[in-house]
Amino acid sequence: MRFQLVTRIILLCAVAIALDGCGGSKSDNNTATANGVSAQTVLEQAATRFDQVSSLHFTLSIDGSVPLDTTNTLALHGAEGDLSRPDRAQAKASVGFLGATISIKFVSIGGDQFITNPISGSWEMAPANLGYNPAVLYNKDTGIARVLNALEKPKIAGNESVNGEESYHITATVARADIQPIAAGAVASQAPAIDLWITKSASDLVKLTLHDADSSKKNATTWTLNLSQQNQPVTIERPKL
């Protein structure tokens, strides 16, 4: 159970970083503009900027149900953590369990991954079949490369303020098949809608929402990711077992 949790905690981080790395679109209809600025140009500038970002902080909130086991006993409520190039990550997830809320922590350094026991809170080595390594988020030949040019019909929906920063609001969709390799199978919709907010001043991706739903359209879930503290010092250390 808790290893599936890890992949879902990092899901939107992976999607955000991958989409931020996209330099193009499958669709030719990607020239929607606002005041003469095209969505394509904004995305290209954001991709260039992201190559200069060595670390960032994220907070993830979820509106809807994200079960973490086949019995729907556990549900992911949200997470907060940090990413650092080239291969370090740490996160603390809030998980609902039988009406209560528990916290689970995760650390990844290189090829080593650690997770806290949900009962005792003690750190443990994660097994080799954990199935997720945050290094993929920064590797252009693996995770990001799979979704390059995956945005379909990006458009500038308007200009909005995010955390006091004037930002472009871009809307788009992406094929499920393009996201699944980095999403650990967590996306249900065939073409989820995505909203991105990119600052005008620094071209930082600061907010992303992913709108997902199963085939019945009854179980809609919105993932909201906020990114901040780009290039700020962050310490991610190996926990004591």
Contact 185, 207 (CB under 8 A): no
Q: For 50-60, what is each residue's pLDDT tens digit?
A: 878 889 898 88
CA distance 85 to 90: 12
**Per CATH, domain 2-228 is 2.60.40.10:** no
Looking at residue 99, its pLDDT comes to 78
Looking at residue 211, its pLDDT comes to 84
Residue entry with tokens 């991610």: 236
Q: For 162-205, what is each residue's pLDDT tens digit?
A: 989 999 999 998 887 776 655 656 677 888 888 999 999 999 98
Chain mean pLDDT for the chain: 77
- As given in the structure block, the two tokens for residue 173 are 């969709």
Looking at residue 29, its pLDDT comes to 47
Q: Which residues contact 238 (CB under 8 A, 6 or more apart)?
A: 107, 109, 112, 114
Return the higher-pLDDT residue of 33 and 146: 33
The residue type of 230 is Q
Domain boundaries, the chain: 2-228
* Whole-structure pTM value: 0.81
Residue entry with tokens 């005041």: 35
Average pLDDT estimate for 141-157? 67
Positive or negative torsion for Cα 89, 69, 180, 200: negative
* Nearest by Cα to 145 from 121, 93, 181, 189: 181
The residue type of 76 is L
- As given in the structure block, the two tokens for residue 116 are 């806290």
Which CA distances in Å does 198 have to 138, 206, 222? Answer: 19, 6, 19
CA distance 61 to 184: 18
Q: Is the pLDDT of residue 27 over 70?
A: no
